[in-house]
Chain A
Amino acid sequence: MDVYGMILSPYVARVVLTARYKGIKHKLKMPSGGLKSPEYMALNPLGKIPTIKDGATVLYESSVIVDYLDAKYKKKRIIPASAKEAARARLLATIFAEYVQAPTLALMRQSDPATRDQKVVEEKLAEVKRGLDVVEKMLSGKTWAAGSKFTIADVYAVPCWFFMSALLPNFGMADPTGGRKKLGKYAAKLKKEKLTSTVLAEMAEGMKNFRPGGRS
């Protein structure tokens, strides 16, 4: 399977985590002619990453890809079989994505203290904290986010945690967990487990080499 993208993209990271956890052989690469090339736009008319090519199947949008991989490669399911457990895992994934990662990424544009809009910063930090309060309530307190097994919730949590730990300290949150107990334990786990710590390290490496505007 070809995965188009780079691991620093949180959307790509979700796909890579899913593929690695499930043991799906894949190759990660950027489209050779760039995201807006006619060749790439023929695969993904939005010109975004990730896009996958799995045999004759071409798909984009990370959430669609993650569900596809879990349905097609049935070993090591990341979506629990029971309707209620699946919904819990999906809800936790959605909260990481929409209520924590989204406001965290919005802070990226406020990185320069000289041009920072303090009102926006405060709004976004408040959103992050509210999201994390809900995460703290919902975390299982077991090995992984939704229970003792790795699930779709972890697939979404890892890139979210990467950007939290990379960005929030610049905005006065030295400890991005804010002292939340279950979250602290969970973050420590992500830094220790091979699958998740490897992705976190690769994302950090990607960030070091990232030059905004330096790519097509």
Chain B
Amino acid sequence: MASLAVYGSVLSPFVARVLLVCGYKGIDCDLSMPKDGIKSPEFLKLNPFGKIPTIKDGSTVLYESAVIVDYLEAKYKKKKLLPTAAKAMAHTRLIATIAAEYVQPAGLKFFRMKRANQNIPADIDAAKADLEKGLDVLEKLLSGKKYAAGSSVSVADCFVVPALFFAVHASALFGVSDAIGARKKTKAYWAAMHKDKIAGKILQGMADRMKQLLAG
């Protein structure tokens, strides 16, 4: 069977979600940037919004990371990343959504400000406040067990890991030395995920790429 084509780059937290799902489910995937760029006519045919990630799985073309994650979970039934019980599933999705909507955007804001060479104190303070708020809610929801939603890996981890990467590393670019701070569950989780074989590899890839980009 031909492997799954994933268009994108590992530093995109949206792409990283898909790569983590593939990693944990053991789906063979091939990561590449669209060769003529994301706004090329060829790529716009696959994704009219010209964004990454986009996937091609046989004749199925999809975009929007959350949609892709649910698709892979429904299609590749080995190693489930979502519990079957409605309540447990919802809790897993809630952690993923909080990471995606309230932690990651604040982290990305720092990264974009850095890339654009912006140093507006009010914007920096706003990003810091957003980040604190998102991390507080995440701390409340984390299971305190090995993985975000419990003792086994789930979709929640695939969203939390890239979100925390930006929360920690992009805020550091603006002098935040320890974004996670005294949040115990988050701290233990973050340390553990660096030792996790699959997440650890993605985190390393993201860190390398960020360093490269910022070095010019």
Contacts and interface: CB of A to CB of B under 8 A. Distances in A.
B97 A68 contact: no
A61 B207 CA distance: 30
Interface stretch (B12-20, B35-43, B60-68, B107-115): B60-68
Contact of A71 (B60, B64, B71, B90): B90
B94 A61 contact: yes
Contact of B67 (A91, A130, A133, A134): A91
Interface in B51-75: 60, 62-64, 66-68, 70-71, 74-75
A67 B89 CA distance: 9
A99 B86 CA distance: 29
Contacts of A137: 48
Nearest to B62: A87
A63 to B, nearest CB: 6
Given A45-B137, A86-B70, A91 B90 contact: no
Contact of B48 (A67, A72, A133): A133
A83 B86 contact: no
A59 interface: yes
A64 B75 contact: no
B137 to A, nearest CB: 5
A99 B48 CA distance: 11
A90 interface: yes
B93 A64 contact: yes
Contacts of A65: 90
Q: DSSP majority for the A interface?
A: helix
Contact of B102 (A46, A59, A71, A99): A46
Contacts of A46: 102, 137
Interface string A124-148: 0000001001100100000000000
Interface residues of A, number: 28
A156 interface: no
Interface in B2-46: none
Contacts of B70: 86-87, 90
Nearest to B91: A59
Given A86-B74, A87-B62, A134-B48, A67 B93 contact: yes
Given A67-B90, A83-B75, A94-B66, 12 more contacts: A45-B137, A63-B93, A64-B94, A67-B89, A68-B86, A71-B86, A87-B71, A90-B67, A94-B67, A98-B64, A130-B48, A134-B48
Interface residues of B, number: 26
Contact of A61 (B64, B74, B75, B97): B97
Closest 8 CB pairs of A and B: A72-B86, A83-B75, A83-B74, A68-B90, A71-B86, A87-B71, A64-B93, A61-B97
Contacts of A98: 64
Contact of B89 (A61, A68, A130): A68
Nearest to A98: B64
Nearest to B55: A87
Given A72-B86, A87-B74, A59 B137 contact: no
13 contacts: A57-B87, A61-B93, A64-B94, A65-B90, A68-B87, A68-B93, A84-B75, A86-B74, A90-B64, A90-B66, A95-B64, A98-B64, A134-B49
Interface in A4-61: 45-46, 57, 59-61
Given A45-B140, A72-B86, A83 B71 contact: yes
Contacts of A63: 66, 93, 97
Give the one of A46, A60, A87, A91 with max B CB within 10 A: A87
